[in-house]
């Protein structure tokens, strides 16, 4: 129970960072803003149609969204109407963003998204960086709350780029905190801490005590997730001192809730309960909806640990109701888990099963989505590198141990030889031991060679990536920058853009093959065979590659009959056909032709992909499938590749029980052949 509860902790810290935009966190106090408005109004030539006045009204509206929503709504209308009257586009965009904030606080998610989108459109149309920054950050926060972390990360990164471009340090700090919490929510605490340290450094440079307090309270959650409770308590207490001094009720509520969560994680249940109740009391003062989603679940967990089932049920239901109303995905999931445990303990297993099933559905959905996201990919890559490093260390250790055994065996044989030198059986026995010893030595040498070859392949691939990715990406970046700055003519753009597009297309193919190769290196090739329609797979693959062929005016002919069935892995055959046909397009000249055909053998199908392209000599053919000769190659239109494609195809063909070979002559074209099993009789064909 303890581990599951704490997993949700980071997500809830994230909620507080987001509400609402970083501008809110860094804004002046209500009193200060009101004073500025009064000072402006007192001037003899004051007019409401004034950009400074509109900005202050909108700032005050934002500050009142939580404390007094009605006042915020009135101020917003005034600021928005004045902006429209003056055609003040910056004010119009800011007003729409703040309306979105107000709607989101009220649980009107779709309305919030609509107004943020309008704000962003205006900012983009009139090239208004600060309003654009506010809208992007708001949208990222909204997506985050709804559990759409991939979309949230995209918006945050776009916002960070804008903030960096205009050197808006305050917003850079806040966005770094938001990105850190995304990593923390995905259990990558080390990366999260890196972003938070960056935010803390920027805060210290700005000498901004307010921003430092917000940063520290987020660092507390990361330290707690890492099990460093002493440091977590220290930084949360430091931030609480500031919030008490400023009487910032919502953040005081959050700080007490966080102290309760840290205490609960250390099984200090009475202490945790005291902090949670203090947080609830502060939420009551301002009717703080988001604070309730945190503290209700915290109280439910605490009462559950203290075996007060009735109270746990009461707060669990409250937490589910407010989380559902606010559409907080992570909180809904946690509430369902709490209630499933409550009703299990009450003996109401049917009801417990209902909540448990809902929790599992949300958990699976969350896990599936995370796997697809950039954060998940980064974490997977890190895990792979660590596992690979550990494997190498284990192999080196095993080799050292085996060498030691060899030396011990040699010493033992020498001693035995001294005693049995004159015996016939001694000679015979010695030969037997020597033979085993040579076999072990050969096995060790082979393992060392394989490890060395794997490292060389990895280094070569990294070299290819560094060489082939750097140039196209820099060129594409330069082209986009010149286009954005309008420093490139239309003629130059039309000249360079197609080549840049081809480079990016090549990078896409390269990354696809690298990901497939990496997966096979980590997990091996896993088969999922069934009766499949070969013609349908080829047709679908060709349709995807047709745009590439049409650019070179290449005709692709699919001569495989409709009723051609094979018992193979559908995904493998798709990858094989895609790589071979893609290679054929790459090495075929303009207005060439590629023909795909099949020959039916006794117990297998022989597929042929033939082109009339540049072909290759015998020496090149001999090196095609040797990993130590992997190199980046260029097509007839300067297309790039990693040299991995055919190696991957060969491994997959062989895993399906077939063979792959090449026949080619320079300037006469190339034919790639591979065999796959015929259909398995009486087995249904996969759709």
Phi, psi dihedrals of residue 555, rounded to the nearest 5°: -95, 125
- Whole-number Å distance between alpha carbons of 326 and 105: 8
Considering only 70-79, 448-457, 656-665, which range has the smallest mean pLDDT? 448-457
Residue 377 lies in a domain: no
DSSP 8-state code for residue 554: -
Mean pLDDT within 72-82: 91
For residue range 594-609, list pLDDT tens digits in order. Answer: 999 999 998 899 999 9
pLDDT at 385 over 50: no
What pLDDT is attached to residue 557? 94
**490-523 vs 645-655: helix crossing angle, rounded to 10:** 40
DSSP 685: B
* Exposure class string for 24-52: b at 16+ Cβ within 10 A, else e: bbbbeeeeebeebbeeeeeeeeeeeebee
Q: 95-150, pLDDT tens digit by residue? A: 999 998 888 878 788 888 899 999 999 999 999 998 998 888 888 888 877 777 77
Structure tokens that stand for 392 in this block: 């190498």
Same domain membership, residue 232 and residue 257 = no
Lowest average pLDDT, out of 96-100, 494-498, 629-633, goes to: 629-633
More confident residue, 539 or 410: 539
Q: Choose the weakest-confidence range: 58-67, 255-264, 603-612.
A: 58-67
Residue 69 in this model has a pLDDT that exceeds 70: yes
Do 259 and 233 lie in a common domain?
Answer: no
Residue finishing a domain among 247, 278, 313: 247
Q: Judge whether 325 lies within some domain.
A: yes
Give the range with max mean pLDDT: 177-186, 435-444, 455-464, 614-623: 614-623
CB of 284 within 8 A of CB of 246?
A: no
* Signed CA dihedral, 112, 115, 121, 123: sign only: negative
* DSSP run (H or E) holding 375: helix 374-419
The pLDDT value recorded for residue 511 is 64
Residues 406, 303 within the same domain: no
Same domain, 540 and 637: yes
Q: How many domains does the chain have?
A: 4
Place of tokens 């804004």: 27
Lowest mean pLDDT among 44-58, 454-468, 660-674: 454-468
Structural domain ending residue among the three candidates 247, 275, 306: 247
Length of the chain: 687
pLDDT of residue 23: 37
Integer Cα distance of 289 and 318 in angstroms = 11
Q: What is the mean pLDDT of residues 65-80?
A: 87
- Give the phi and the psi of residue 409 in degrees, each rounded to 5: -65, -40
Q: Which of 220, 247, 274 is the last residue of a domain?
A: 247
Whether residue 265 lies inside any domain: the answer is yes
512 occurs within a structural domain: no
Higher pLDDT, 521 or 273: 273
Q: Please indicate, yes or no, whether residues 299 and 354 belong to a single structural domain of this protein.
A: yes
The SS3 assignment for 664 reads strand
Choice among 36-50, 86-100, 394-408 with the minimum mean pLDDT: 394-408
Residue 6 predicted with pLDDT over 50: no
Question: With 90 as the cut, is the pLDDT of residue 610 above it?
Answer: yes
- Taking residues 335-351, report their average pLDDT: 91
pLDDT at res. 173: 83
| 170 and 56 in a common domain | yes
Residues 354 and 404 in one domain: no
**Cβ(1)–Cβ(17) below 8 Å:** no
Strand order in the sheet with 660-665: 555-558, 593-600, 604-611, 669-677, 660-665
Range of the domain at 349: 249-370
Question: Residue 289's domain is classified under what CATH number?
Answer: 1.25.40.10
Mean pLDDT of the 307-319 span: 92
Contacts of 95 (CB under 8 A, 6+ apart): 58, 76, 79, 80, 83
Q: What is residue 519's predicted lDDT score, i.e. its pLDDT?
A: 60
Query: CB burial class (10 A; 0-12, 13-18, 19+) of residue 414?
Result: exposed
3-state secondary structure of 208: coil
Same domain for 30 and 170, yes or no, is yes
pLDDT tens profile 148-175: 777 888 888 888 888 888 888 878 887 8
Tell me the per-residue pLDDT of 640-662, one tens digit each, with 9 for 90 and over.
555 567 888 888 899 899 999 99
pLDDT at 18: 40
Statement: residue 283 has pLDDT above 70: yes
Compute the mean pLDDT over every residue in the chain, rounded to the nearest whole number: 79
Least confidently predicted of 23-37, 45-59, 113-127: 23-37
Question: Do 280 and 408 lie in a common domain?
Answer: no
397 and 254 in one domain?
no
pLDDT digits (tens, 9 = 90+) for 206-234: 777 777 777 787 788 788 878 888 988 99
Write the CATH number for 544. Answer: 3.30.565.10
Contacts of residue 354, Cβ cutoff 8 Å, sequence gap at least 6: none
**Dihedral over Cα of 225, 231, 232, 235: its sign:** negative
Are 167 and 186 in contact by the 8 Å Cβ rule? The answer is: no
Average of per-residue pLDDT across 179-198? 76
- Percentage helix, strand, coil for the chain under 3-state DSSP, each rounded to 5: 75, 5, 20
Q: Judge whether residue 405 has pLDDT over 50.
A: yes
φ/ψ of 399, rounded to 5, equals -65, -40
514 within a domain of the structure (yes/no): no
Same domain, 409 and 277: no
Region 560-583 average pLDDT: 91
Is 170 within a domain?
yes
Q: Residue 469: what pLDDT?
A: 57
Sign, CA torsion 680/681/682/687? positive
Q: What is the per-residue pLDDT for 609?
A: 96
What is the DSSP annotation of 78-110? HHHHHHHHHT-HHHHHHHHHHHHHHHHHTT-HH
pLDDT at 17 over 50: no
Q: What pLDDT is recorded for position 680?
A: 85
- Give the best-scoring range by mean pLDDT among 43-52, 171-180, 358-367, 513-522: 43-52
Query: What confidence category does residue 372 fall into, taking pLDDT thresholds of 50, 70 and 90?
Result: very low
Is the model more confident about 335 or about 380? Answer: 335
CA dist., res. 519 & res. 167, Å (int): 41
The better pLDDT of the pair 418, 341 is held by 341
Read off the pLDDT of each residue in 52-70 and give the average, rounded to a whole number.
86
CA nearest 630: which of 473, 513, 470, 508? 513
- Stretch 9-29: mean pLDDT, rounded? 40
Picking from 102-111, 266-275, 410-419, which range would have the lowest pLDDT averaged per residue?
A: 410-419
Per-residue pLDDT for 66 more than 60? Answer: yes
Question: CB under 8 Å to 314, separation ≥6 — which residues?
Answer: 300
Can you give the pLDDT at residue 9?
40
* 454 lies in some domain: yes
Average pLDDT over every residue of 408-416: 77
DSSP element (H, E) containing 670: strand 669-677
Gap between the terminal Cα atoms of the chain = 43
Residue 611: per-residue pLDDT: 94
Whether the per-residue pLDDT at 303 is higher than 80: the answer is yes
1 is a domain residue:
no
Most confident of 295-299, 511-515, 526-530: 295-299
Q: Same structural domain for residues 271 and 312?
A: yes
């Amino acid at each position: 129970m303890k581990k599951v509860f704490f997993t949700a902790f980071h997500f809830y810290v994230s909620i507080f960072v987001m509400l609402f935009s970083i501008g809110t966190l860094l804004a002046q106090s209500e009193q200060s803003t009101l004073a500025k408005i009064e000072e402006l109004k007192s001037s003899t030539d004051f007019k409401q149609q004034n950009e400074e006045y509109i900005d202050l009204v909108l700032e005050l509206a934002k500050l009142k969204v939580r404390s007094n929503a009605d006042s915020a709504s009135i101020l917003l209308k005034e600021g928005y109407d004045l902006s429209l009257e003056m055609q003040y586009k910056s004010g119009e965009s800011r007003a729409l963003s703040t309306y979105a904030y107000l709607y989101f606080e009220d649980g009107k998610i779709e309305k919030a998204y609509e107004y943020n989108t309008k704000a962003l459109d205006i900012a983009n149309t009139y090239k208004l960086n600060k309003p654009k920054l506010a809208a992007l950050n708001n949208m990222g926060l909204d997506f985050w709350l709804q559990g759409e972390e991939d979309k949230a990360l995209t918006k945050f990164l776009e916002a960070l780029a804008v903030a960096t471009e205009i050197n808006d340090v305050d917003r850079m700090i806040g966005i770094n905190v938001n990105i850190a919490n995304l990593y923390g929510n995905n259990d990558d605490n080390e990366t999260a801490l890196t972003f938070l340290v960056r935010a803390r450094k920027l805060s210290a440079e700005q000498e901004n005590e307010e921003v430092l307090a917000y940063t520290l309270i987020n660092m507390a959650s990361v330290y707690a997730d890492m099990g460093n409770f002493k440091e977590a308590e220290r930084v949360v207490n430091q931030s609480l001192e500031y919030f008490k001094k400023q009487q910032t009720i919502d953040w005081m509520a959050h700080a007490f809730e966080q102290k309760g969560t840290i205490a609960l994680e250390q099984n200090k249940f009475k202490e945790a309960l005291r902090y949670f109740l203090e947080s609830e009391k502060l939420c009551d003062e301002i009717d703080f909806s988001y604070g309730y989603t945190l503290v209700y679940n915290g109280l439910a967990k605490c009462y559950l640990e203290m075996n007060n089932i009735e109270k746990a049920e009461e707060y669990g239901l409250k937490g589910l109701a407010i989380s559902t109303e606010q559409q907080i995905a992570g909180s809904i999931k946690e509430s369902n888990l709490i209630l499933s445990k409550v009703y299990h303990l009450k003996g109401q297993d049917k009801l417990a099963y209902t909540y448990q099933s809902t929790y599992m559905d949300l958990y699976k959905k969350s896990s599936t989505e995370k796997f697809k996201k950039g954060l998940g990919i980064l974490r997977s890559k890190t895990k792979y590198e660590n596992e690979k490093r550990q494997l190498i260390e284990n192999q080196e250790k095993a080799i050292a141990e085996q060498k030691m055994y060899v030396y011990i065996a040699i010493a033992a044989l020498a001693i035995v030889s001294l005693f049995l030198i004159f015996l016939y059986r001694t000679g015979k026995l010695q030969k037997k031991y020597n033979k085993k010893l040579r076999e072990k030595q050969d096995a060790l040498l082979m393992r060392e060679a394989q490890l060395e070859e794997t490292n060389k392949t990895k280094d070569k691939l990294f070299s290819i990536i560094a060489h082939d990715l750097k140039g196209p990406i820099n060129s594409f970046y330069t082209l986009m920058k010149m286009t954005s700055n309008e420093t490139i003519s239309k003629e130059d753009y039309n000249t360079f853009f197609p080549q840049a597009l081809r480079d990016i297309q090549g990078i896409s193919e390269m990354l696809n093959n690298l990901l497939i190769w990496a997966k096979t290196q980590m997990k091996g090739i896993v088969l999922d065979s069934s009766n499949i329609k070969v013609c349908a797979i080829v047709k679908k693959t060709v349709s995807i590659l047709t745009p590439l062929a049409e650019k070179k005016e290449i005709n692709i002919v699919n001569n495989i009959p409709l009723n051609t069935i094979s018992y193979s892995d559908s995904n493998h055959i798709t990858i094989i056909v895609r790589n071979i046909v893609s290679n054929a397009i790459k090495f075929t000249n303009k207005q060439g032709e590629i023909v795909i055909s099949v020959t039916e053998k006794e117990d297998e199908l022989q597929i042929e992909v033939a082109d009339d392209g540049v072909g290759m000599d015998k020496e090149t053919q001999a090196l095609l499938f040797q990993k130590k000769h992997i190199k980046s190659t260029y097509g007839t239109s300067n297309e790039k590749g990693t040299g991995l494609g055919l190696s991957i195809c060969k491994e997959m063909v062989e895993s399906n029980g077939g063979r792959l070979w090449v026949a080619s002559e320079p300037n006469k074209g190339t034919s790639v052949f591979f065999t796959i099993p015929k259909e398995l009789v009486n087995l249904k064909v996969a759709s």
